[in-house]
Structure 1
Amino acid sequence: MKIRKATVTDAEGVAKVQVDSWHSTYKNIIPDEYLRKMTYESWGKKWKEIISKQSVYIAEDNKGKIIGFSNGGPERTGKYPGFEGELYAIYILKDHQRKGLGKQLLEPIIQELENQGIYSMLALILEDNHSRFFYEKVGAEKVDIIEIEFSGKRLNQVVYGLKDIRKIQ
């Protein structure tokens, strides 16, 4: 297994992980209508743009296939004083979850934030996503719960905060 910074040529693999992860993780949480509209092609275009502007790290298996990714940077809303960084996304293919890969993908995002003088971080996770307990396990605390909408369905999103990313467990 290898963790490395993504390049725009990785966008298609990142998109595949995102779409496949959403289908396995959010089935029966996010409306099927929304999930059906997610395509490798449309997300591949979005990830090319994101990778060219933001920090994205990928996990590759022994054959060079992308099996997970993480993305983060400065906190985007300004609504949470004391939290300067944000984990924008972390997704891992279902067969590779619960093997320590999440923490490995979190580490380079934390390092990038620290390099920018940022030592606190938020992560926003759907309340019904059981992977949210990962954040509690690494020491994050609930800061807020906000309501969001997917295809007309209202869902709660938990805002987790890490006050000092140097103390991740």
Structure 2
Amino acid sequence: MSEIVVRAATPADAAGMARVHVRAWQQTYRGQMPDEVLDAPDFVERRERFWTRALTDAEPGLRPAVAELDGEIVGIALAGPAQGEATPHDWQLYNLYMLAEHHGSGAGQRLIDAVLEDRASVLWVADPNPRAQAFYRRNGFVPDGASQGDAPREIRMVRA
């Protein structure tokens, strides 16, 4: 049986990262986000443009990573300098997505370790999203009371 490998992402990974990003959103946010957003015909294309920019025109300090099984990307993560004026830390986990069939494989943990290391960090997570919130709590994150948005609503979690 093959093992999931976690490595730094490269510009050649943009298309695979976009597919994972969209599929993970569809698996995770169905019922929390409008179907027309999740099923938009250009959703993968827009995410591919995002990942291409993130991987080629990256701001200094961005840390993208992928989890791959038999050459196919099954998880993605991106961290870097914190965004926003009133953030409690200077490092942020922007996203971490695993395809549902690979939840519990340990690859999500390896992704977060790869992009955050042991840094004090901040992240925003959908609420409700009990699985993700429990994962982040296991990694030392706690809600700090800040929230934003409504479809889905997000809460901020911080790790000292």
Q: TM-score w.r.t. structure 1 length?
A: 0.83
CA-to-aligned-CA distance 1:27-54 (integer Å, 9 cap, x gap) = 0111112112252222111100011203
1:68 to 67, 70, 75: 75
Residue 120 (structure 2) aligns with: 120
Structure 1 residue 138: Cα displacement: 1.5
Residue 21 (structure 2) aligns with: 18
Counterparts of 1:23 and 1:107, CA distance in 2: 25
Counterparts of 2:155 and 2:122, CA distance in 1: 10
Structure 1 residue 149: Cα displacement: 4.1
Counterparts of 2:24 and 2:153, CA distance in 1: 19
Residue 59 (structure 1) aligns with: 67
Residue 139 (structure 1) aligns with: 140
Residue 95 (structure 2) aligns with: 89
Counterparts of 1:10 and 1:149, CA distance in 2: 31
> May I ask how many residue pairs the two structures share in their alignment?
151
Residue 9 (structure 1) aligns with: 12
Structure 1 residue 57: Cα displacement: 0.2
CA contact (8 A) 1:145 1:156 kept: no
**Aligned-residue RMSD, C-alpha:** 1.5
Counterparts of 1:90 and 1:120, CA distance in 2: 17
CA-to-aligned-CA distance 1:136-159 (integer Å, 9 cap, x gap) = 121211112313144xxxx42110
CA contact (8 A) 2:14 2:51 kept: yes
SS at match of 1:80: coil
Counterparts of 2:39 and 2:15, CA distance in 1: 18
Q: TM-score w.r.t. structure 2 length?
A: 0.88
Counterparts of 2:111 and 2:143, CA distance in 1: 21
Structure 1 residue 109: Cα displacement: 1.0
SS at match of 1:106: helix
Counterparts of 1:73 and 1:144, CA distance in 2: 22
SS at match of 1:71: strand
SS at match of 2:149: strand
Residue 156 (structure 1) aligns with: 153
Residue 166 (structure 1) aligns with: none
Q: Name stretches of at least 5 consecutive residues in structure 1 with no aligned partner.
A: 164-169
Moved runs in structure 1, 4+ residues, more than 2 A? none
